[in-house]
Amino acid sequence: MSCLAFFAGRSPVHRLDPRVRLLSALGLAVAIALSERLVTLGWALGLTTLLAAAARLGLWTLTRRLLHLNAFMLFLWMVLPWSVPGRFARTVWGLSITEEGIRLALEITVKGNAIVLLFTALVATIDPPRLGCALKRLALPDKLVHLFMLVIRYTDVIHDEYGRLRHALKARAFQPRFSSHTLRAFGYLVGLLLVRSMERAERVLAAMKCRGFDGHFHALTGFGLRPSDLVFTGMALCHVGAWAWLELS
Amino acid sequence: MHISEGVLSGPVLASGAVLAVAGIGLGLRRMSVDNTPKTAMLSAVFFVASLIHVPFGPSNVHLILNGLSGVLLGWTVFPALAVALFLQAVMFQFGGLTVLGVNTLIMALPGMIAYHIFHLMYGIVRRPGRVFGVAVVLGAMAVLLSGLLLTAALALGGRAFLGVAAGIVAAHVPVMIADGVVTGAAVLFILKVRPDLLVPSRWEPAA
Amino acid sequence: MSGILIALRNVTFGYEAARPVLRNAALEIRPGDRAALAGRNGAGKTTLLYLLVGLLRPQAGHVEAMGRTCRHEEDFVAVRRRVALLFQNSEDQLFCPTVLEDVAFGPLNLGQPPAEARQSAMDALAQLGMSDFAERVTHHLSVGEKKLVALATILSMKPSVLLLDEPTAGLDENAVERVIALLNGLDAAWLVISQDHDFLARVTSRRLTLADGAIHERRDPRS
């Protein structure tokens, strides 16, 4: 799917072991999520911006992706400064806004952007099949990994099927509106996708059984840690430690 | 429907993660190996369906369909939606990693409730028109419940989010209508085409 | 009005820039035209039909319909109300639980009130001798039956131009005869892709060939 915009790159980040990237992302994300001091969060935003730059994420695509998050942040900025009780800062449009409100909105904006940048730089850059293998190596339940692998295999198939049906609707002069006609058409479309995919699932299962599937999912890709992976892990740990120290001191 | 990164407090994120892991674990135990392809396929359909947008005024609303997923998936709605939400985060930067647990809970729990009510009613109500009606109500209800769970998650942080939460729930009124009718029509479709797929006994191994 | 229903003007299109499917291709369909579109597998015949109704957009050149240049989605919305496309795979075309709902879908999109749309649908089914199928569940029909229903879904919109992608695939002899009789009784123009030479000989009088990205014409296929 065209939305998989980030994993195809070649950068130092892409060459890191997927397990290292996943675990580092998780550790750093939790640390950022628990931080409340602006100095820590500013540092985190700086670090994750660097990571995004190192992963050579397309600036334009990345901006568009962050737009969604920041539309929500904008909404928070329109509500929080007025609604959080605290010390009076100034009056805007006849309403008094508080320092605490501004601080909270700022905290959330920086935190949210830092975590999303981190996740995009480290995890969205792993191509999905390798991501599945990495999840398996990290001892996630077999069934869950298998489920994940099948979902990424068939999302494209179903997305294409959906695309063809939308084409056919269009060719019959269908124009979506907020009307019962439109909603019913979408309902039937979803119903058809569901029935077809459940029937496909029956065939897929039969085909898997024919090839000796016994309920275990075997990963083909092996991973090996390289010195750069260890250095990266060490750096991530140092950051988590430094942030924890900043927060607790 | 999802909560963005950066908004929730640590304890809320942690409890969300723990509850979601419990739900996923239970779902996986109920998911026999033979059900894996079906669960995956439905997870993929709901992922694709979340890309459908319905024009609303100058903007548009996206379908959520967590009620419909619940009705068809039962307990396996937890792992199915967790995977779909994880993919959404990877592909579109919607939601995220630390909020994955909370978001899974917000989406899957109302789905589970819809599942139980639907199959309770399905034993009593037989006429397609009435099944449609039940499905419409459940589809809308699941969105409403998700909105309330989202509000609760925000409020539990103890911060002044009530204004924000009220705004979010209000913004989901058109989604409730859209999800309700789409869920109803989809259930009606399956009822006419492959009614056996609606019957849970075919779905879940005796647990 | 130039008397041309729909036309391609110097259209270039390719899925990959390096390998264009159409290169400066031109095509005109006038009222009463009954054209066959031939070409090898993968020559781009289906692509050409998609371009005509704006499901794909050319990289160069444009589509002209009812005397108007069409470049944007709004232009093609109007085109699709009069130019109907029968998809190669009926599975992709039919999405309602029952036949009647599917056949009435187009007329409803044209703005007909439900009762009228229902009548249009019943008329279209009757034209194909499929009135008994109205309440059937589409998903359970055979490939050939689905093809006929798909044909009914576009006939119910009373189009001026029919773009038919393999209309006889999967049909039995009897059904093919019905389709031939139906087409020859219609007041519409059409462009047909088909591998069925006997069928083409009986419903078309123009033969277009798509090869190496260009469209060539040969009048009267029987000569």
**Tens-place pLDDT, residues C135-175:** 898 888 998 999 999 999 999 999 999 999 999 988 999 99
% of chain A at pLDDT higher than 70: 91
pLDDT of residue C98: 87
pLDDT of residue A69: 85
**Token couple for A119:** 């996740």
Measured from the Cβ of residue B131, the count of other Cβ atoms closer than 10 Å reads: 21
The answer, for B93 touching chain A at a CB cutoff of 8 Å, is yes
The answer, for A168 touching chain C at a CB cutoff of 8 Å, is yes
Is pLDDT of B201 > 70? Answer: no
Distance from CA of A171 to the nearest CA of C (A): 6
The answer, for A175 touching chain C at a CB cutoff of 8 Å, is yes
**Chains touching A, CB cut-off 8 Å, 3+ pairs:** B, C
Of A82-86, B88-92, B112-116, C77-81, which gets the smallest average pLDDT? A82-86
Distance from CA of C97 to the nearest CA of B (A): 5
Is pLDDT of B161 > 80? Answer: no
Best probe of the B interface among A7, A164, A180, A194, by most B CBs < 10 A, is: A194
Is pLDDT of B200 > 70? Answer: no
Please name the helix (run of DSSP H) or strand (run of DSSP E) that holds residue A93, with its range, or none: none
Q: What is the full DSSP assignment across A160-212? A: HHHHHHHHHHHHTT----SSHHHHHHHHHHHHHHHHHHHHHHHHHHHHHHHTT
Q: Minimal CA–CA distance to B76: which of B31, B9, B127, B42?
A: B31
Contacts of A3 (CB under 8 A, 6+ apart): B91, B92
Contact B160 A151 (CB under 8 A): no
Q: What is the full DSSP assignment across C51-104? A: HHTTSS--SEEEEEETTEEE-SHHHHHHHHTTEEEE-SSGGGT--SSBHHHHHH
Best probe of the A interface among C70, C92, C160, by most A CBs < 10 A, is: C92
pLDDT of residue A7: 67
Cβ atoms B40, B48 nearer than 8 A: no
pLDDT of residue C28: 93
Distance from CA of B91 to the nearest CA of A (A): 6
Contact C95 A168 (CB under 8 A): yes
Cβ atoms B63, A186 nearer than 8 A: yes
ipTM over 0.95: no
Cβ atoms A238, A30 nearer than 8 A: no
% of chain C at pLDDT higher than 90: 65
pLDDT of residue B196: 86
Structure confidence at residue B107 as a pLDDT band (50, 70, 90): very high
Structure confidence at residue B103 as a pLDDT band (50, 70, 90): very high
Phi, psi of C168, deg, nearest 5: -105, 0
pLDDT of residue A186: 95
Looking at every residue in chain B, the average pLDDT score rounds to 87
Specify the higher pLDDT residue, A215 or C134. Answer: C134
The answer, for B189 touching chain C at a CB cutoff of 8 Å, is yes
Residues A10-32 have a mean pLDDT of 88
Instruction: Tell me the C-alpha to C-alpha distance, in Å, between residue A200 and each of A197, A213, B88.
Output: 5, 17, 23
- A-chain CB neighbours of C117 within 8 Å are none
Is pLDDT of B10 > 90? Answer: no
Q: Minimal CA–CA distance to C34: which of C162, C197, C168, C222?
A: C162
Is pLDDT of B183 > 90? Answer: yes
Buried (b) or exposed (e) across A47-67, using 16+ Cβ within 10 A? Answer: bbeebbeebbbeeeebeebbe
Cβ atoms B17, B101 nearer than 8 A: yes
How many residues are recorded in chain C? 223
Is pLDDT of A232 > 70? Answer: yes
Best probe of the C interface among A172, A174, A190, by most C CBs < 10 A, is: A172
pLDDT of residue A140: 87
**Token couple for C90:** 């009926």
pLDDT of residue A3: 46
- C-chain CB neighbours of B193 within 8 Å are 97, 137-140
Structure confidence at residue B67 as a pLDDT band (50, 70, 90): very high
From chain B residues 9-38, the ones with a CB under 8 A of any chain A CB are: 10, 13, 24-25, 28, 31, 33-34, 36-38
Instruction: Tell me the C-alpha to C-alpha distance, in Å, between residue B100 and each of A151, B5, B18, B68, B81.
Output: 17, 9, 11, 20, 10
Specify the higher pLDDT residue, C84 or A13. Answer: C84
Instruction: Tell me the C-alpha to C-alpha distance, in Å, between residue C60 and each of B69, C20, C206.
Output: 44, 11, 26
Structure confidence at residue B63 as a pLDDT band (50, 70, 90): very high
**Token couple for A206:** 């039969």
Contact C137 B192 (CB under 8 A): yes
Structure confidence at residue B34 as a pLDDT band (50, 70, 90): confident
Phi, psi of C35, deg, nearest 5: -110, 145
Structure confidence at residue A56 as a pLDDT band (50, 70, 90): confident
pLDDT of residue C220: 54
Residues C102-124 have a mean pLDDT of 92
Best probe of the C interface among B192, B196, B198, by most C CBs < 10 A, is: B192
Contact A112 B5 (CB under 8 A): yes
Specify the higher pLDDT residue, C116 or A206. Answer: C116
**Token couple for B68:** 């419909």
Which of C89, C106, C139 lies at the smallest CB-CB distance from A172?
C106
Is pLDDT of B206 > 80? Answer: no
pLDDT of residue B158: 62
pLDDT of residue A214: 65
pLDDT of residue B205: 43
From chain B residues 113-172, the ones with a CB under 8 A of any chain A CB are: 159-160, 162-164, 167
Distance between CA atoms of A246 and A234, rounded to whole angstroms? Answer: 18
Looking at every residue in chain A, the average pLDDT score rounds to 85
Phi, psi of A220, deg, nearest 5: -90, -35
pLDDT of residue A11: 80
Phi, psi of A244, deg, nearest 5: -60, -40
Q: At what angle do helices A128-137 and A142-171 cross, to 10 degrees?
A: 160
**Token couple for C173:** 């002899």
Is pLDDT of A17 > 50? Answer: yes
Is pLDDT of B73 > 50? Answer: yes
Contact B39 A147 (CB under 8 A): yes
Contact C140 B192 (CB under 8 A): no
